[in-house]
Amino acid sequence: MVLLVLLIVPLAASLALAFIGDRKFAPEVNILGSAATFAASIRLALQVYEQGPILAGDNFFFVDAFSVYLTVLTAFVSMTTSIFSRRYMRREREHGTIGSRRIRFYHAMFQLFIFAMLLCLLTNNVGILWISMELATLSTVLLVSLYRTPAAIEAAWKYFILCGVGIALALFGTVLLYFAAEKVLGAGGAALHWTNLAKVSNQLEPTILSLAFVFLMVGYGTKVGLVPIHNWLPDAHSEGPTPISAVLSGLLLNIALYALVRCKVLVDGATGTNHSGHIMMGFGIISIIVASFSLLRQKDIKRLFAYSSIEHMGIATFAFGLGGPVATFGALLHMLVHSLTKSSIFFTVGHASQMHRTQEMAKIKGLIRGNPLVGWGLALGVMAIVGMPPFGVFTSEFLILTATIKDAPWFAPFLLLGLGVSFAALFRRAQPMVSGERPPYQHRLKVAHLPVILHMLVVLVLGLYIPKFLAEWFQTAVGLLK
Protein backbone atom coordinates (compact mmCIF):
# COMPACT_ATOMS: atom_id res chain seq x y z
CA MET A 1 0.00 0.00 0.00
CA VAL A 2 2.69 2.42 1.06
CA LEU A 3 4.44 1.56 -2.20
CA LEU A 4 1.55 2.91 -4.21
CA VAL A 5 1.41 6.06 -2.12
CA LEU A 6 5.10 6.56 -2.71
CA LEU A 7 4.58 6.48 -6.46
CA ILE A 8 1.23 8.20 -6.71
CA VAL A 9 2.17 11.26 -4.65
CA PRO A 10 4.89 12.56 -7.00
CA LEU A 11 2.83 11.65 -10.05
CA ALA A 12 -0.21 13.49 -8.71
CA ALA A 13 1.94 16.43 -7.66
CA SER A 14 3.40 16.53 -11.14
CA LEU A 15 -0.05 16.62 -12.72
CA ALA A 16 -1.30 19.28 -10.32
CA LEU A 17 1.78 21.44 -10.79
CA ALA A 18 1.39 21.19 -14.56
CA PHE A 19 -1.68 23.40 -14.05
CA ILE A 20 -0.88 25.51 -11.01
CA GLY A 21 2.92 25.50 -11.20
CA ASP A 22 3.13 29.23 -11.84
CA ARG A 23 1.02 30.34 -8.90
CA LYS A 24 2.54 32.07 -5.93
CA PHE A 25 2.11 29.03 -3.70
CA ALA A 26 3.42 26.50 -6.26
CA PRO A 27 6.85 26.11 -4.61
CA GLU A 28 5.08 25.28 -1.36
CA VAL A 29 2.97 22.66 -3.13
CA ASN A 30 6.17 21.27 -4.57
CA ILE A 31 7.71 21.08 -1.09
CA LEU A 32 4.56 19.53 0.33
CA GLY A 33 4.50 16.84 -2.35
CA SER A 34 8.15 15.97 -1.80
CA ALA A 35 7.67 15.96 1.98
CA ALA A 36 4.75 13.55 1.63
CA THR A 37 6.90 11.34 -0.58
CA PHE A 38 9.65 11.43 2.01
CA ALA A 39 7.21 10.49 4.78
CA ALA A 40 5.98 7.55 2.70
CA SER A 41 9.55 6.44 2.07
CA ILE A 42 10.25 6.45 5.81
CA ARG A 43 7.15 4.36 6.36
CA LEU A 44 8.37 1.92 3.69
CA ALA A 45 11.82 1.81 5.26
CA LEU A 46 10.33 0.92 8.65
CA GLN A 47 8.33 -1.85 7.04
CA VAL A 48 11.40 -3.26 5.31
CA TYR A 49 13.40 -2.95 8.51
CA GLU A 50 10.80 -4.96 10.44
CA GLN A 51 9.78 -7.54 7.84
CA GLY A 52 12.72 -7.80 5.49
CA PRO A 53 12.39 -7.58 1.67
CA ILE A 54 8.93 -6.84 0.33
CA LEU A 55 7.43 -8.34 -2.82
CA ALA A 56 4.14 -6.76 -3.77
CA GLY A 57 1.68 -6.14 -6.58
CA ASP A 58 1.90 -9.58 -8.20
CA ASN A 59 5.69 -9.52 -7.88
CA PHE A 60 5.83 -6.28 -9.80
CA PHE A 61 7.41 -4.33 -6.94
CA PHE A 62 10.40 -5.46 -4.97
CA VAL A 63 12.14 -3.61 -2.17
CA ASP A 64 15.15 -4.95 -0.36
CA ALA A 65 17.98 -3.55 1.71
CA PHE A 66 19.81 -2.30 -1.39
CA SER A 67 16.93 -0.36 -2.88
CA VAL A 68 15.29 0.85 0.31
CA TYR A 69 18.12 3.08 1.48
CA LEU A 70 18.36 4.60 -1.97
CA THR A 71 14.62 5.19 -1.94
CA VAL A 72 14.83 7.10 1.33
CA LEU A 73 17.85 9.00 0.03
CA THR A 74 16.06 9.91 -3.19
CA ALA A 75 12.98 11.11 -1.35
CA PHE A 76 15.08 13.04 1.16
CA VAL A 77 17.27 14.84 -1.34
CA SER A 78 14.31 15.70 -3.54
CA MET A 79 12.59 17.18 -0.51
CA THR A 80 15.54 19.36 0.47
CA THR A 81 16.06 20.33 -3.17
CA SER A 82 12.46 21.49 -3.42
CA ILE A 83 13.02 23.62 -0.32
CA PHE A 84 16.15 25.08 -1.88
CA SER A 85 14.47 25.62 -5.23
CA ARG A 86 11.70 27.72 -3.67
CA ARG A 87 13.83 30.82 -3.18
CA TYR A 88 16.20 30.04 -6.01
CA MET A 89 13.58 29.73 -8.73
CA ARG A 90 11.59 32.64 -7.38
CA ARG A 91 14.68 34.80 -7.77
CA GLU A 92 15.34 33.51 -11.28
CA ARG A 93 11.81 34.55 -12.10
CA GLU A 94 12.28 37.99 -10.60
CA HIS A 95 15.38 38.42 -12.73
CA GLY A 96 13.23 37.64 -15.71
CA THR A 97 15.30 34.60 -16.72
CA ILE A 98 12.19 32.46 -17.01
CA GLY A 99 8.51 33.20 -17.47
CA SER A 100 5.41 31.71 -15.89
CA ARG A 101 4.97 28.92 -18.44
CA ARG A 102 8.47 27.67 -17.92
CA ILE A 103 8.21 27.76 -14.14
CA ARG A 104 5.08 25.63 -14.41
CA PHE A 105 6.92 23.23 -16.65
CA TYR A 106 9.85 23.18 -14.24
CA HIS A 107 7.70 22.21 -11.27
CA ALA A 108 5.78 19.52 -13.14
CA MET A 109 8.92 17.96 -14.57
CA PHE A 110 10.71 18.04 -11.24
CA GLN A 111 8.02 15.85 -9.70
CA LEU A 112 7.85 13.59 -12.75
CA PHE A 113 11.60 13.10 -12.46
CA ILE A 114 11.22 12.01 -8.83
CA PHE A 115 8.47 9.63 -9.85
CA ALA A 116 10.66 8.07 -12.54
CA MET A 117 13.56 7.58 -10.13
CA LEU A 118 11.37 6.02 -7.46
CA LEU A 119 9.86 3.67 -10.03
CA CYS A 120 13.40 2.62 -10.97
CA LEU A 121 14.13 1.71 -7.38
CA LEU A 122 10.86 0.01 -6.56
CA THR A 123 10.21 -2.06 -9.65
CA ASN A 124 11.14 -5.71 -9.81
CA ASN A 125 11.03 -5.85 -13.60
CA VAL A 126 14.32 -5.25 -15.37
CA GLY A 127 12.43 -3.97 -18.43
CA ILE A 128 10.50 -1.43 -16.38
CA LEU A 129 13.77 -0.43 -14.77
CA TRP A 130 15.00 0.50 -18.24
CA ILE A 131 11.81 2.35 -19.12
CA SER A 132 11.81 4.45 -15.97
CA MET A 133 15.50 5.19 -16.46
CA GLU A 134 14.66 6.56 -19.90
CA LEU A 135 11.73 8.49 -18.43
CA ALA A 136 14.06 10.05 -15.86
CA THR A 137 16.33 11.18 -18.69
CA LEU A 138 13.54 12.55 -20.81
CA SER A 139 11.97 14.48 -17.96
CA THR A 140 15.24 16.32 -17.27
CA VAL A 141 16.28 17.04 -20.86
CA LEU A 142 14.03 20.05 -21.22
CA LEU A 143 14.90 21.19 -17.71
CA VAL A 144 18.54 21.46 -18.72
CA SER A 145 17.50 23.75 -21.60
CA LEU A 146 15.13 25.73 -19.37
CA TYR A 147 17.00 29.02 -19.77
CA ARG A 148 17.00 28.72 -23.59
CA THR A 149 20.44 30.24 -23.96
CA PRO A 150 22.48 28.81 -26.85
CA ALA A 151 24.76 27.06 -24.38
CA ALA A 152 21.81 25.56 -22.50
CA ILE A 153 20.23 24.23 -25.69
CA GLU A 154 23.52 22.77 -26.79
CA ALA A 155 23.97 21.08 -23.42
CA ALA A 156 20.47 19.65 -23.47
CA TRP A 157 20.85 18.37 -27.03
CA LYS A 158 24.09 16.65 -26.12
CA TYR A 159 22.44 15.17 -23.06
CA PHE A 160 19.47 13.95 -25.09
CA ILE A 161 21.50 12.39 -27.89
CA LEU A 162 24.26 10.83 -25.79
CA CYS A 163 21.98 9.44 -23.13
CA GLY A 164 19.48 8.36 -25.77
CA VAL A 165 22.12 6.33 -27.55
CA GLY A 166 23.52 5.02 -24.30
CA ILE A 167 20.22 3.91 -22.99
CA ALA A 168 19.35 2.31 -26.33
CA LEU A 169 22.40 0.09 -25.92
CA ALA A 170 21.21 -0.78 -22.43
CA LEU A 171 17.90 -1.86 -23.96
CA PHE A 172 19.77 -4.19 -26.28
CA GLY A 173 21.47 -5.63 -23.22
CA THR A 174 18.07 -6.08 -21.59
CA VAL A 175 16.77 -7.87 -24.70
CA LEU A 176 19.71 -10.26 -24.50
CA LEU A 177 19.05 -10.78 -20.82
CA TYR A 178 15.44 -11.64 -21.56
CA PHE A 179 16.58 -13.94 -24.35
CA ALA A 180 18.67 -15.92 -21.87
CA ALA A 181 16.01 -15.81 -19.16
CA GLU A 182 13.22 -17.00 -21.41
CA LYS A 183 14.93 -20.33 -21.94
CA VAL A 184 14.91 -21.00 -18.21
CA LEU A 185 11.81 -19.21 -16.98
CA GLY A 186 9.57 -19.35 -20.06
CA ALA A 187 8.17 -16.40 -21.96
CA GLY A 188 6.24 -13.61 -20.32
CA GLY A 189 6.72 -10.78 -17.88
CA ALA A 190 7.84 -13.06 -15.05
CA ALA A 191 11.04 -13.85 -16.95
CA LEU A 192 12.19 -10.27 -16.47
CA HIS A 193 11.52 -10.15 -12.74
CA TRP A 194 14.77 -9.58 -10.93
CA THR A 195 13.83 -11.86 -8.04
CA ASN A 196 13.15 -14.76 -10.44
CA LEU A 197 16.29 -14.05 -12.40
CA ALA A 198 18.42 -13.94 -9.28
CA LYS A 199 17.08 -17.35 -8.23
CA VAL A 200 18.05 -19.06 -11.49
CA SER A 201 21.03 -16.90 -12.39
CA ASN A 202 23.39 -19.89 -12.31
CA GLN A 203 21.37 -21.59 -15.07
CA LEU A 204 21.43 -18.61 -17.42
CA GLU A 205 23.64 -18.98 -20.47
CA PRO A 206 26.98 -17.33 -19.57
CA THR A 207 27.99 -16.38 -23.13
CA ILE A 208 24.79 -14.40 -23.66
CA LEU A 209 24.99 -12.72 -20.30
CA SER A 210 28.59 -11.62 -20.71
CA LEU A 211 27.65 -10.07 -24.05
CA ALA A 212 24.58 -8.49 -22.45
CA PHE A 213 26.72 -7.00 -19.71
CA VAL A 214 28.92 -5.17 -22.19
CA PHE A 215 25.85 -3.41 -23.58
CA LEU A 216 24.40 -2.76 -20.13
CA MET A 217 27.73 -1.42 -18.91
CA VAL A 218 28.10 1.04 -21.78
CA GLY A 219 24.40 1.95 -21.65
CA TYR A 220 23.90 2.56 -17.97
CA GLY A 221 27.53 3.67 -17.68
CA THR A 222 26.68 6.63 -19.91
CA LYS A 223 24.12 7.70 -17.36
CA VAL A 224 26.48 7.10 -14.44
CA GLY A 225 28.81 9.52 -16.22
CA LEU A 226 31.75 7.17 -16.63
CA VAL A 227 34.66 8.19 -18.85
CA PRO A 228 34.81 8.06 -21.92
CA ILE A 229 31.05 8.58 -22.26
CA HIS A 230 30.78 11.35 -19.73
CA ASN A 231 30.72 14.40 -22.06
CA TRP A 232 27.08 15.20 -21.45
CA LEU A 233 27.50 15.45 -17.70
CA PRO A 234 29.51 18.66 -17.14
CA ASP A 235 27.49 20.51 -19.78
CA ALA A 236 24.14 19.43 -18.42
CA HIS A 237 25.20 20.32 -14.89
CA SER A 238 26.57 23.72 -15.73
CA GLU A 239 23.80 24.96 -18.00
CA GLY A 240 20.71 23.70 -16.21
CA PRO A 241 19.12 25.39 -13.19
CA THR A 242 21.05 24.62 -10.01
CA PRO A 243 18.32 22.57 -8.30
CA ILE A 244 18.44 20.28 -11.32
CA SER A 245 22.23 20.02 -11.10
CA ALA A 246 21.79 19.01 -7.47
CA VAL A 247 19.35 16.19 -8.22
CA LEU A 248 21.20 15.04 -11.33
CA SER A 249 24.45 14.68 -9.42
CA GLY A 250 22.95 13.57 -6.16
CA LEU A 251 20.31 11.17 -7.41
CA LEU A 252 20.23 10.28 -11.08
CA LEU A 253 23.83 9.08 -11.22
CA ASN A 254 23.19 6.89 -8.20
CA ILE A 255 20.10 5.35 -9.78
CA ALA A 256 22.00 4.52 -12.95
CA LEU A 257 24.71 2.85 -10.90
CA TYR A 258 22.01 0.99 -9.00
CA ALA A 259 20.62 -0.37 -12.28
CA LEU A 260 24.07 -1.44 -13.37
CA VAL A 261 24.82 -3.21 -10.10
CA ARG A 262 21.50 -5.07 -10.17
CA CYS A 263 22.39 -6.39 -13.61
CA LYS A 264 25.92 -7.24 -12.52
CA VAL A 265 24.58 -9.56 -9.82
CA LEU A 266 22.73 -11.59 -12.47
CA VAL A 267 25.71 -11.71 -14.82
CA ASP A 268 28.06 -12.82 -12.06
CA GLY A 269 25.63 -15.52 -11.05
CA ALA A 270 25.62 -16.87 -14.60
CA THR A 271 29.32 -16.69 -15.38
CA GLY A 272 30.56 -17.63 -11.94
CA THR A 273 33.52 -15.27 -12.38
CA ASN A 274 34.09 -11.62 -11.58
CA HIS A 275 34.61 -10.75 -15.23
CA SER A 276 31.98 -8.00 -15.11
CA GLY A 277 33.64 -6.65 -11.99
CA HIS A 278 36.90 -6.23 -13.87
CA ILE A 279 35.15 -4.20 -16.57
CA MET A 280 33.62 -1.98 -13.90
CA MET A 281 36.98 -1.53 -12.19
CA GLY A 282 38.51 -0.44 -15.49
CA PHE A 283 35.81 2.12 -16.23
CA GLY A 284 35.93 3.30 -12.63
CA ILE A 285 39.65 3.89 -12.41
CA ILE A 286 39.78 5.68 -15.78
CA SER A 287 36.94 7.93 -14.67
CA ILE A 288 38.74 8.77 -11.44
CA ILE A 289 41.99 9.69 -13.19
CA VAL A 290 40.47 11.64 -16.10
CA ALA A 291 37.99 13.50 -13.92
CA SER A 292 40.55 14.48 -11.30
CA PHE A 293 42.90 15.93 -13.91
CA SER A 294 40.01 17.70 -15.62
CA LEU A 295 39.22 19.35 -12.30
CA LEU A 296 42.44 21.32 -12.61
CA ARG A 297 41.32 23.07 -15.79
CA GLN A 298 37.85 24.24 -14.82
CA LYS A 299 36.79 27.86 -14.66
CA ASP A 300 33.06 27.43 -14.22
CA ILE A 301 32.04 26.55 -10.69
CA LYS A 302 29.28 24.12 -11.65
CA ARG A 303 31.46 22.35 -14.19
CA LEU A 304 34.07 21.92 -11.46
CA PHE A 305 31.69 20.05 -9.22
CA ALA A 306 30.26 18.11 -12.15
CA TYR A 307 33.71 16.67 -12.78
CA SER A 308 33.99 15.90 -9.12
CA SER A 309 30.77 13.87 -9.48
CA ILE A 310 32.33 11.87 -12.30
CA GLU A 311 35.29 11.17 -10.06
CA HIS A 312 33.12 10.00 -7.19
CA MET A 313 30.87 7.83 -9.34
CA GLY A 314 34.09 6.34 -10.67
CA ILE A 315 35.14 5.51 -7.11
CA ALA A 316 31.81 3.82 -6.36
CA THR A 317 31.83 1.90 -9.67
CA PHE A 318 35.39 0.80 -9.03
CA ALA A 319 34.49 -0.41 -5.55
CA PHE A 320 31.45 -2.36 -6.74
CA GLY A 321 33.65 -3.93 -9.39
CA LEU A 322 36.26 -4.87 -6.82
CA GLY A 323 33.60 -6.68 -4.81
CA GLY A 324 34.21 -8.28 -1.45
CA PRO A 325 32.50 -7.25 1.77
CA VAL A 326 34.62 -4.21 2.64
CA ALA A 327 34.66 -2.64 -0.83
CA THR A 328 30.94 -3.19 -1.39
CA PHE A 329 30.12 -1.74 2.01
CA GLY A 330 32.32 1.22 1.16
CA ALA A 331 30.62 1.66 -2.21
CA LEU A 332 27.13 1.63 -0.70
CA LEU A 333 28.18 4.17 1.90
CA HIS A 334 29.94 6.23 -0.74
CA MET A 335 26.79 6.49 -2.85
CA LEU A 336 24.95 7.80 0.20
CA VAL A 337 27.48 10.34 1.44
CA HIS A 338 28.48 11.56 -2.00
CA SER A 339 24.88 12.21 -2.88
CA LEU A 340 24.26 14.19 0.31
CA THR A 341 27.50 16.17 0.15
CA LYS A 342 27.32 16.95 -3.55
CA SER A 343 23.74 18.17 -3.48
CA SER A 344 24.57 20.35 -0.48
CA ILE A 345 27.53 21.80 -2.40
CA PHE A 346 25.28 22.55 -5.34
CA PHE A 347 22.85 24.37 -3.02
CA THR A 348 25.63 26.67 -1.83
CA VAL A 349 27.01 27.01 -5.36
CA GLY A 350 23.56 28.06 -6.55
CA HIS A 351 23.38 30.76 -3.91
CA ALA A 352 26.94 31.87 -4.59
CA SER A 353 26.36 32.22 -8.32
CA GLN A 354 23.15 34.16 -7.73
CA MET A 355 24.99 36.47 -5.32
CA HIS A 356 27.59 37.23 -7.99
CA ARG A 357 25.37 36.77 -11.04
CA THR A 358 28.02 34.59 -12.60
CA GLN A 359 29.31 31.03 -12.52
CA GLU A 360 32.87 32.05 -13.20
CA MET A 361 35.04 31.09 -10.25
CA ALA A 362 37.48 33.95 -10.71
CA LYS A 363 34.70 36.43 -9.95
CA ILE A 364 33.29 34.66 -6.91
CA LYS A 365 35.02 35.94 -3.77
CA GLY A 366 34.55 36.60 -0.11
CA LEU A 367 31.64 34.25 0.42
CA ILE A 368 32.10 33.88 4.17
CA ARG A 369 31.99 37.65 4.65
CA GLY A 370 29.06 37.95 2.28
CA ASN A 371 26.97 35.19 3.70
CA PRO A 372 28.37 32.92 6.42
CA LEU A 373 26.07 30.01 5.63
CA VAL A 374 26.95 29.95 1.95
CA GLY A 375 30.65 30.48 2.64
CA TRP A 376 31.01 27.94 5.41
CA GLY A 377 28.62 25.57 3.67
CA LEU A 378 30.80 25.56 0.59
CA ALA A 379 34.03 25.36 2.60
CA LEU A 380 32.84 22.44 4.69
CA GLY A 381 31.22 20.79 1.68
CA VAL A 382 34.49 20.89 -0.22
CA MET A 383 36.35 19.57 2.81
CA ALA A 384 33.88 16.72 3.00
CA ILE A 385 33.96 15.89 -0.70
CA VAL A 386 37.75 15.72 -0.91
CA GLY A 387 37.63 13.13 1.84
CA MET A 388 38.74 14.94 4.97
CA PRO A 389 37.78 13.42 8.29
CA PRO A 390 35.48 13.58 10.18
CA PHE A 391 32.99 13.56 7.29
CA GLY A 392 31.35 10.45 5.84
CA VAL A 393 33.21 10.54 2.54
CA PHE A 394 36.42 9.92 4.44
CA THR A 395 34.99 6.73 5.94
CA SER A 396 33.79 5.33 2.63
CA GLU A 397 36.94 6.24 0.73
CA PHE A 398 39.06 4.81 3.51
CA LEU A 399 37.17 1.51 3.37
CA ILE A 400 37.48 1.36 -0.41
CA LEU A 401 41.17 2.18 -0.29
CA THR A 402 41.83 -0.48 2.35
CA ALA A 403 40.03 -3.09 0.28
CA THR A 404 41.97 -2.02 -2.81
CA ILE A 405 45.32 -2.34 -1.10
CA LYS A 406 44.37 -5.80 0.08
CA ASP A 407 42.69 -7.23 -3.04
CA ALA A 408 44.03 -5.25 -5.97
CA PRO A 409 47.22 -3.49 -4.85
CA TRP A 410 48.12 -2.52 -8.42
CA PHE A 411 45.20 -0.16 -8.53
CA ALA A 412 45.98 1.55 -5.25
CA PRO A 413 48.56 4.07 -6.62
CA PHE A 414 46.13 5.17 -9.36
CA LEU A 415 43.32 5.54 -6.88
CA LEU A 416 45.54 7.55 -4.55
CA LEU A 417 46.77 9.69 -7.42
CA GLY A 418 43.18 10.52 -8.40
CA LEU A 419 42.22 11.33 -4.84
CA GLY A 420 45.33 13.46 -4.33
CA VAL A 421 44.93 15.46 -7.53
CA SER A 422 41.26 16.15 -6.93
CA PHE A 423 42.06 17.17 -3.36
CA ALA A 424 44.56 19.72 -4.62
CA ALA A 425 42.34 20.96 -7.44
CA LEU A 426 39.22 21.47 -5.35
CA PHE A 427 41.03 23.06 -2.47
CA ARG A 428 42.92 25.48 -4.64
CA ARG A 429 39.65 26.60 -6.25
CA ALA A 430 37.49 26.76 -3.14
CA GLN A 431 39.86 28.67 -0.90
CA PRO A 432 39.84 32.02 -2.79
CA MET A 433 36.08 31.81 -3.24
CA VAL A 434 35.21 31.48 0.41
CA SER A 435 37.83 33.73 2.01
CA GLY A 436 38.78 37.35 1.50
CA GLU A 437 36.82 40.58 1.26
CA ARG A 438 33.42 40.83 -0.39
CA PRO A 439 33.71 42.29 -3.87
CA PRO A 440 31.55 45.39 -4.53
CA TYR A 441 29.35 43.59 -7.08
CA GLN A 442 28.29 40.92 -4.60
CA HIS A 443 24.60 41.04 -3.74
CA ARG A 444 23.15 40.17 -0.38
CA LEU A 445 20.48 37.50 -0.61
CA LYS A 446 18.20 35.57 1.64
CA VAL A 447 19.16 31.93 1.41
CA ALA A 448 17.60 28.61 2.32
CA HIS A 449 19.44 27.45 5.45
CA LEU A 450 17.75 24.19 6.18
CA PRO A 451 18.87 22.01 3.22
CA VAL A 452 22.59 22.73 3.59
CA ILE A 453 22.59 22.33 7.37
CA LEU A 454 20.60 19.09 7.25
CA HIS A 455 22.80 17.52 4.59
CA MET A 456 26.08 18.46 6.22
CA LEU A 457 24.85 17.24 9.60
CA VAL A 458 23.95 13.83 8.21
CA VAL A 459 27.29 13.57 6.42
CA LEU A 460 29.09 14.52 9.63
CA VAL A 461 27.16 11.97 11.68
CA LEU A 462 27.86 9.25 9.12
CA GLY A 463 31.54 10.04 9.38
CA LEU A 464 31.52 9.59 13.13
CA TYR A 465 29.20 6.65 13.50
CA ILE A 466 26.95 4.54 11.32
CA PRO A 467 23.54 3.84 12.86
CA LYS A 468 22.69 0.21 13.51
CA PHE A 469 19.81 -0.03 11.04
CA LEU A 470 21.95 1.39 8.23
CA ALA A 471 24.81 -0.95 9.03
CA GLU A 472 22.41 -3.89 8.99
CA TRP A 473 21.01 -2.86 5.62
CA PHE A 474 24.45 -2.45 4.19
CA GLN A 475 25.47 -5.87 5.51
CA THR A 476 22.38 -7.44 3.95
CA ALA A 477 23.02 -5.65 0.69
CA VAL A 478 26.64 -6.80 0.74
CA GLY A 479 25.43 -10.38 1.10
CA LEU A 480 23.02 -9.84 -1.75
CA LEU A 481 25.62 -8.41 -4.10
CA LYS A 482 28.24 -11.07 -3.47
Partner 1 sequence: MNMQLASQVNSLLAALILLTAFGLVVQRRMNALLHLFAWQGFFLAVSTAIVGYVGGVRDLYISSVLTLSMKVILLPYILHKLIVKLRIHKEVETVVNIPTTMLMGIVLVIFSYHLTAPIRELSTLVTRSTLAVALATVMLGFLMMITRKHAVTQIIGFLAMENGLLFAATSATYGMPLVVELGVALDLLIAAFIFGMFFFHISTTFDSLDVDQMARLKEED
**189 vs 282 by CB, closer to partner 1:** 189
Cα separations in angstroms, 44 against 68, 258, 335, 378? 8, 19, 20, 33
Q: With respect to partner 1, which residue has the nearer C-beta, 210 or 475?
A: 210
Q: Tell me if 40 sits within 8 A of 75, measured CB to CB.
A: yes
- Identity of the residue, 125 or 442, whose beta carbon is nearer to partner 1 in the bound complex: 125
Closest to partner 1 by CB, 41 vs 238, is 238
Peptide bond into 389 cis (omega under 30): no
The minimum distance between CB 178 and partner 1, in angstroms, equals 6
Beta carbon of residue 421, minimum distance to partner 1 (angstroms, whole number): 16
CB-nearer residue toward partner 1: 41 or 139:
139
Instruction: Give whichever of 307 and 394 is closer to partner 1, judged by the CB atom.
Output: 307
Minimal distance in Å, beta carbon 164 to partner 1? 6
Measure Cα distances from 43 to 7, 60, 229 in Å.
Answer: 13, 19, 38
CA distance linking residue 34 with residue 81, whole number of Å: 9
Q: Which of 25, 28, 32, 42 is nearest to 9 (CA)?
A: 32
On whether the CB atoms of residues 320 and 278 are closer than 8 A, the answer is no
Q: Please, which residue, 49 or 203, has the CB nearer to partner 1? A: 203
- Minimum Å gap between C-beta 131 and partner 1 is 4
Is the Cβ of residue 206 or residue 282 nearer to partner 1 in the bound state? 206
Would you say how long the chain is, in residues? 482
96 or 409: whose CB is closer to partner 1?
A: 96
Q: What minimum distance in Å lies between the beta carbon of 307 and partner 1?
A: 10
Question: Are the CB atoms for 173 and 216 separated by under 8 Å?
Answer: yes
- Nearest approach in angstroms of CB 256 to partner 1 is 16
Q: How far is CA 422 from the centre of its chain?
A: 19
Closest separation in Å from C-beta 83 to partner 1? 28
C-alpha 120/C-alpha 133 separation (Å) is 6
In whole angstroms, give the CA distance from residue 382 to residue 388: 9
CA atoms of 111 and 131, how far apart (whole Å): 17
Which chain residues interact with partner 1 by CB under 8 A? 125, 127-128, 130-131, 134-135, 138, 141-142, 145, 148-151, 153-158, 160-161, 164-165, 168-169, 171-172, 174-176, 178-179, 182-183, 187-189, 191-192, 205, 207-208, 211, 234-235, 238-239, 294, 297, 299
CB of 154 to partner 1, least distance (A): 4
173 phi and psi, to 5 degrees? Answer: -60, -40
- Rounded CA gap, 354 and 49, in Å? 42
Distance CA 269, CA 209 (A): 10
CA–CA dist 306, 298 (Å, integer): 10
Per-residue DSSP letter, 200: T
At its nearest, how many Å lie between partner 1 and the CB of residue 396? 29
> What's the distance, Cα to Cα, between the start and end of the chain in Å?
31
